[in-house]
């Protein structure tokens, strides 16, 4: 059994300057607060309790505490990852990790990143608190990205919407385009490092990426494809670089056209698309969005 699943209680020491931030955070997540003796507050919601004592001792309990700790408490408040990683024996094998960001977002670029690390660099990624970028706030991802770039060899491929739409039409489907993007970043980092050991997050049949690598003369790469590959520290580092590049690209487009472009493909995104069309016309929508999304048709059907 996973060691984290055995734990019924998590205890940490909190820097008390962060007490108000933690209080605001748990309130925003639907916790109910009380103030038992000797506490700053006790917060509870279904499956999780979080108690901060005046001494700075922080106690989290409950069957649903794992997600709260991994996705909020450690990355946003504590900045340490003893629960998330547990007593992980960090694999220091030299390797290249690859991941992408922006695949499911209507606005903004598609970004693919590859990161190389080995030995002490892998340990430093661990010490930095590198983890799957989906567990991080935008601010934290951007901050970690700059640190990873100073520490590791890397390559980031940022495909803006106009180029993305052109490539999508050429490749005919997203998985083939993604495989080309992965192969391109892998090729760049292999040339820099000579490393042939690569791990990617599997998004299609294994042959799709293998074939893309063969077309670049990289058929001898030792390629591992697996689901949830972001659990690997080096792939997680790549996920952070990809996400930071996506966030920077999205902001750049928003600044260029003077409109906030939200992430994802929700109703808020459709509303933003309609505002964009009102300001800039339908012809320019393909400069900021991925036109094969159903969202594109939803926006284009909008009558001015």
Give CA angle at 136 (134, 137), nearest 5°: 115
Res 179 pLDDT > 90:
yes
Among 44-58, 72-86, 172-186, 265-279, the minimum mean pLDDT is found in 72-86
Cβ contacts of 85 within 8 Å, gap of 6 or more: 126, 131
CA distance 130 to 139: 14
pLDDT for the residue 236: 93
pLDDT for the residue 17: 94
pLDDT tens per residue, range 21-57: 999 999 999 999 999 999 999 999 999 999 999 999 9
Q: What is the length of the chain?
A: 304
Domains located in the chain, CATH noted: 3-85 (3.30.310.10), 95-250 (3.30.420.10)
State the pLDDT confidence band at 3, using cuts at 50, 70 and 90.
Answer: very low
N-to-C CA span, the chain: 58
pLDDT tens per residue, range 192-210: 999 999 999 888 888 999 9
pLDDT for the residue 4: 47
Res 171 pLDDT > 90:
yes
């Amino acid at each position: 059994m996973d060691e984290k699943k055995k734990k019924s209680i998590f205890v940490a020491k909190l820097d008390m300057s962060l007490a108000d931030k933690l209080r605001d955070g748990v309130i925003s997540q639907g916790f109910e607060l009380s103030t038992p003796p000797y506490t700053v507050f006790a917060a509870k919601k279904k499956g999780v309790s979080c108690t901060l004592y005046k001494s700075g001792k922080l106690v989290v309990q409950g069957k649903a505490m794992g997600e709260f700790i991994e996705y909020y408490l450690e990355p946003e408040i504590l900045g340490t990852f003893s629960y998330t990683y547990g007593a992980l024996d960090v694999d220091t094998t030299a390797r290249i990790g690859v991941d992408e960001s922006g695949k499911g977002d209507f606005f903004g670029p598609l970004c693919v990143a590859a990161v190389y690390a080995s030995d002490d660099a892998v340990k430093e990624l661990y010490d930095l608190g590198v983890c799957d970028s989906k567990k991080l706030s935008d601010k934290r991802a951007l901050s970690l990205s700059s640190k990873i770039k100073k520490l590791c060899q890397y390559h980031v491929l940022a495909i803006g919407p106009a180029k993305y739409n052109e490539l999508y039409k050429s490749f005919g489907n997203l998985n083939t385009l993604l495989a080309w993007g992965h192969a391109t970043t892998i090729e760049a980092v292999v040339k820099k490092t000579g490393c042939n050991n690569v791990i990617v997050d599997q998004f299609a049949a294994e042959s799709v990426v293998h074939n893309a690598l063969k077309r670049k003369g990289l058929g001898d790469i030792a390629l591992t494809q697996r689901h949830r590959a972001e659990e690997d520290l080096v792939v997680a580092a790549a996920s952070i670089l990809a996400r930071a590049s996506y966030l920077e690209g999205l902001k750049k487009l928003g600044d260029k056209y003077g409109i906030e472009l939200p992430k994802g493909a929700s109703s808020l995104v459709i509303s933003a698309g309609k505002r964009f069309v009102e300001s800039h016309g339908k012809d320019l929508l393909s400069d900021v969005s991925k036109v094969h999304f159903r969202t594109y048709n939803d926006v284009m059907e909008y009558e001015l």
